[in-house]
Copies of this chain bind each other. A is one copy, B any other.
Amino acid sequence: MEDSNEYQWYWETNRFYNAEELIGSLSLDNTLSAYVDPSAADGGQPSSGASRNIVSERNRRQKLNDRLYALRAIVPNITKMDKASIVKDSINYIQELQEQEERIQGEIAQLEYSRACENQADQTSLCKKNKRTVHEQQHLSSYVSGGAGSSASPPIQVIEVGHYLFLSSFFCHLIPFHSYDNKT
């Protein structure tokens, strides 16, 4: 009965299992459980074996709940407070954020592209040649990303440039360097 108030504030505050844990570790290990810990024979140490597992499990649960709560905090449109709904809304939010990012990058590239073409100032044909050089660039040094254990990773190629690796999906908008003025 007095727990209901506590459950109500579960997502809002950090809970402490102060009282329950004490009585749990003192009495629970040999009273109403048929399971007796084998390591309990060494002495009267109350925090032995199974009771340690209990508190460890509690910490694990609380950690996941805290992270779920943090996830709920950064996702703007949460409909329900369910654990499953929180994850579902987060998935939707991530997806719409991803496709919006892709769209916006295309928009940026178009701006930058037209700007570069304006700097060329005489031929627009070079702009189309630019897109071709993107494909030529990819086979210059391309790795197939063999993700270790990640089976769900999409077939994105990793391109080596200098000391860095790039995902090929970000190479969709390349601008030739010589369209700008040279490095002094």
Contact = CB atoms under 8 A, between A and B. Distances in A.
A105 B166 CA distance: 12
Interface string A100-114: 110011011101101
Q: Which 4 A-B pairs have the closest CB atoms?
A: A170-B170, A67-B87, A165-B175, A111-B111
B71 A87 contact: yes
Interface in A142-184: 148-153, 158, 160-167, 169-171, 173-181, 183-184
Given A108-B108, A167-B173, A169-B108, A183 B131 contact: yes
A67 B88 contact: yes
Contacts of A68: 87
A31 to B, nearest CB: 15
Given A97-B94, A119-B127, A109 B181 contact: no
A78 interface: yes
A152 B69 CA distance: 10
